[in-house]
Amino acid sequence: MDLTGHGGTADCYLGNSVGQRLSIASTQAVTLIDTGAGIANSTGYNSFGVFQGLAETVRPLDTAGLLLTSPSQGPASVRIHGAAWFHSGVGGASYDAYYGPHQGQVLYLYGGAVWLSDPDQNVAASGYYAGGVFQFLGDGEAVQPGDAGGGAVTAAPPNRVPATADDVAVNGTEDVHGNVFSLGTWQSDSTTVATAGMSVSFQDRAPGSSTGTPSTVSQVANRTANQWLWSHATAEFTATMPAMKLDSANRLTLYSPADATAQIVLDPNPQGTSTFNHPVRAQGRVRVEQRGDLTMGDFTNEPAP
């Protein structure tokens, strides 16, 4: 639509066809009429250059008819639950901001770190963005990059080919200015979102925030069945022996330094059992809750006390 002027408290835009009209009030409330598309009176609002809540997608353009804002770090748009969230120039070159079709839906992208608020889904999450892929922690939701029109972009990074020119040797100190380091072959799940096998990421505070979630260093295994294993070399440097393992059921196992047998198993499952294969010494009190049990000695066939 072309700007035809404004009067009073609203800016008015007329389209190329009869019956196309858009007005923006001083309160940023927006009214859209497009009789050719069957839209009689669609209302929404304008938030930092992104139009939300309207029956049609509306994008701001410059005097040459080009999109008014371009992202400095992320994609042209993002797609969440099938809806396009469009980029706003509010962050300038410091960070990218994307606003969804409903009030309160906002995504910030800052140096690879991501903050997402989606009141429609009761989600407030953080994660990271790297290689054209959004990955979220905690209660995050799937986010896909989109093009300038809001369409999905599904290109996935290629697999790394070992023992080729893709290999990189670093003989000195490496200073990574990004926030994500990933390992492993990229795989796609049912949502066509490709992820590496393992990622280490740094998440800073949101821009301008002095409260809330502190900066975080995260290690994320991007497979459902995953275990973490810490090992070290044997004295002969001919093999490795395990020191500690965290398995996919969140059980923590500590191994003997002498023969690598499991000596301590901590199981957080309420129905599980933690085991200690050696004496345990407590320097403080040992408290047994009401109706608890502290057994001693071997079980026999005698009647219960």
- Predicted confidence (pLDDT) at residue 277 exceeds the cutoff of 60: yes
- Per domain, the residue ranges of the chain are 2-51, 77-160+179-221, 228-276
**CA atoms in the 13 A half-sphere facing the CB of 151:** 4
Kindly write down the DSSP assignment for every residue of 130-179, as one continuous string. Answer: ETTEEEE-TT----EEE-TTS-B----PPPPPTTSTT-----S-----SS
Least confident among 66-70, 237-241, 281-285: 66-70
155-164: average pLDDT: 48
Residue 303's pLDDT is: 65
Burial (CB count within 10 angstroms: exposed 0-12, middle 13-18, buried 19+), residue 242: middle
Q: How far apart are the first and last CA of the chain?
A: 88
Token pair for residue 41? 């009176």
SS3 101: coil
* Bridge partners, residue 218, by sequence: 201
Backbone angles phi, psi at 145, to 5 degrees: -70, 150
Residue 233: pLDDT band with limits 50, 70, 90: confident
Dihedral of the CA atoms 296, 298, 299, 304 (nearest 10)? -40
Q: How much is the mean pLDDT over the chain?
A: 78
Backbone angles phi, psi at 3, to 5 degrees: -70, 125
Residue 137's pLDDT is: 54
pLDDT tens digits along 80-117: 888 889 888 777 777 888 988 887 888 988 877 888 88
Token pair for residue 83? 């809806």
260-273: average pLDDT: 91
**CA atoms in the 13 A half-sphere facing the CB of 36:** 7
